Amino acid sequence: MGVAASQPPPLWRPAQVSIGGVWNVFYDAHAPQWRVVAMAAAAAILLGAGVALLDRGIATRSRRASAHVRARPLAPKTIMAATRGVFAGPVTVTVLIPAHNEEASLPATLASLDAQAHRPDRVIVVADNCTDRTAEIARGAGAEVFTTQGNTDKKGGALNQALRTLLPGLGDNDAVMVMDADTKLGSEFLAEAVRRFTDDRALVAVGGLFYGEEGHGLIGQFQRNEYIRYSREIRRRRGRVFVLTGTASVFRPVALRAVADARGTQLPGRHGDVYDTAALTEDNELTIALKSLGALMVSPPECTVETELMPTWRMLWAQRLRWQRGALENLGAYGVTPQTARYWFQQLGTGYSVIALGTYLALIALMALSMDTWIWFPFWLGLGFWFTLERLVTAWGGGWRARLLAACLFPELFFDMFLNVVYLKGIADITAGRKAAWKHLVRDAGAEAVPAAPGLPAAPGAEEAAR
């Protein structure tokens, strides 16, 4: 907010026109002075920066900080020099599927692997503390089964156990895919990943672009629109990765070995572990770890993934709260480095969004309650038109339902506000020192999804909704 020291001259007197007796349009040629605009912009930036700095302080206190990474063992020049003149054979793919009571979703996941244009060489289902028919279904579909022993570290711990056994026997071109048990791959995913690895020896990881499954009504469409926009942004960035999605990503063994070797010294976590089991969002943390070691990675548009959506607001809240807390804690663990700078700026943008969107919706509500007659201002109508057009264009690829929801504008604004509340809850939980936990959300046929009691195995047929 700023105060003008003088009155700018009007171009003409303010005008108010009624259109069809329904719309009252008001136009005033008075424009705020540039000093007022500059002061308002500066205030907004300072507020957003304050929230981001608060994020940084809270996140840094929440976990230990890692040492700044000096060596870059995965830098393209280093990888190219190590493999120059050496033929490691054709690229092979071993798929690891961590699964805890996934008998309901696993068959579709395995079927999508069978339908690949380039089929995997091995498929290993990592059965983690299962009490249902997950292992039986995996063997029946021709997959190998690795059963974890005494794992209490959820998905990351299960994968660490499997990778300790698998990695020592893999060559430079024996790629490892890690994918969720509730995920279906596009038919060209593995073929494109293998082609990329074959053509570029410096490339150490290929991620997927995820899209939401059909169904779940309005809440499902909110999530599909969100994922469509994210995938569109990655395509416009020519595949440059924000996060190597845990739904499905492929790695060279050298990348996973380098991360395991750097844990406990240059990177957070226990030495020898590929995944930091203290991280709530293991895919985001692994992405930052790889970037810190200089890795080259990409998410090609051909590598598509269809992932499960949260069918209820309660499940969505749990999933997004874990994502938000995990992102903040990961940044706290790594601190401010060239590799994490973009992520810190994203937190700045989220902090500003909380302020801007909350203020905007509050102002609209205040005007609606205080005015006898609603007046439409052409300037704000114009801005609203361009904003709505942007939302419509970015969701266009999702079909008519996605376009209709985007064109309505306000439902998606309220969904964004829901995500902002999750953001604030994540900050509040870290500030209060509340311990974060994976809540295994179970879903029985015909019943509302409810979280299982912490520490107890989920019922047969349950799905881990909060990835």
Per-residue model confidence as pLDDT tens digits over 305-348: 999 999 999 999 999 999 988 888 888 888 888 888 888 778 77
Residue 450: which of 308, 310, 314, 322 has the closest Cα? 314
Instruction: Give the pLDDT score at 330.
Output: 86
How far is the C-alpha of 1 from the C-alpha of 80, rounded, in Å?
55
pLDDT-wise least confident of 7-11, 49-53, 363-367, 448-452: 448-452
Q: At a CB cut-off of 8 Å and minimum separation 6, what does 90 contact? A: 173, 198
| Number of CB atoms found within 10 A of residue 381's CB | 11
Reported as a pLDDT band with limits 50, 70 and 90, residue 371 is low
| Number of CB atoms found within 10 A of residue 17's CB | 9
What are the angstrom distances between the C-alpha of 73 and each of 79, 174, 254? Answer: 7, 19, 9
pLDDT-wise least confident of 59-68, 114-123, 305-314: 59-68
Reported as a pLDDT band with limits 50, 70 and 90, residue 400 is very high
Give percent above pLDDT 70 in the chain: 79
Instruction: Calculate the average pLDDT of the chain.
Output: 82
Reported as a pLDDT band with limits 50, 70 and 90, residue 229 is very high
DSSP string, 196-223: HHHH-TTEEEEE-EEEEPS-SHHHHHHH
With a cut of 50, say whether residue 65 has pLDDT above it: no
With a cut of 90, say whether residue 159 has pLDDT above it: yes
Q: What is the mean pLDDT of the segment spanning 136-151?
A: 95
Q: What is the mean pLDDT of the segment spanning 349-377?
A: 75
Per residue in 73-95, pLDDT tens? 999 999 988 888 888 889 999 99
Instruction: Give the pLDDT score at 59.
Output: 47
Instruction: Give the pLDDT score at 352.
Output: 75
Instruction: Give the pLDDT score at 130.
Output: 94
The more confidently predicted of residues 191 and 2 is 191
Instruction: Give the pLDDT score at 62.
Output: 43
With a cut of 80, say whether residue 454 has pLDDT above it: no
Instruction: Give the pLDDT score at 387.
Output: 86
Instruction: Give the pLDDT score at 463.
Output: 36
Instruction: Give the pLDDT score at 436.
Output: 63
Residue 86 burial (C-beta neighbours within 10 Å; 0-12, 13-18, 19+): exposed
Instruction: Give the pLDDT score at 69.
Output: 57
- Under a CB-based contact definition with an 8 Å cutoff, are residues 188 and 117 in contact? yes
pLDDT-wise least confident of 106-115, 121-130, 284-293, 373-382: 373-382
Instruction: Give the pLDDT score at 451.
Output: 46
Instruction: Give the pLDDT score at 19.
Output: 62
pLDDT-wise least confident of 167-171, 302-306, 442-446: 442-446
Residue 258: which of 345, 374, 172, 344 has the closest Cα? 172
The more confidently predicted of residues 75 and 8 is 75
- Under a CB-based contact definition with an 8 Å cutoff, are residues 395 and 387 in contact? no
The more confidently predicted of residues 347 and 455 is 347
Q: What is the mean pLDDT of the segment spanning 383-396?
A: 89
CA triple 284-290-439, angle to 5 deg? 25
Instruction: Give the pLDDT score at 70.
Output: 62
Residue 156: which of 19, 345, 310, 285 has the closest Cα? 285
Instruction: Give the pLDDT score at 365.
Output: 80
Question: Alpha-carbon torsion 242, 245, 249, 254, what sign?
Answer: positive
Across the beta sheet with 209-212, the strand order is: 183-185, 304-307, 209-212
Q: Give residue for tokens 């672009």.
A: 209
Instruction: Give the pLDDT score at 112.
Output: 95
Instruction: Give the pLDDT score at 449.
Output: 45
- Under a CB-based contact definition with an 8 Å cutoff, are residues 187 and 208 in contact? no
The more confidently predicted of residues 110 and 371 is 110
Per residue in 32-47, pLDDT tens? 677 877 887 787 777 6
Per residue in 170-226, pLDDT tens? 999 999 999 999 999 999 999 999 999 999 999 999 999 989 999 999 999 999 999
What are the angstrom distances between the C-alpha of 371 and each of 128, 141, 363, 407? Answer: 60, 65, 12, 26
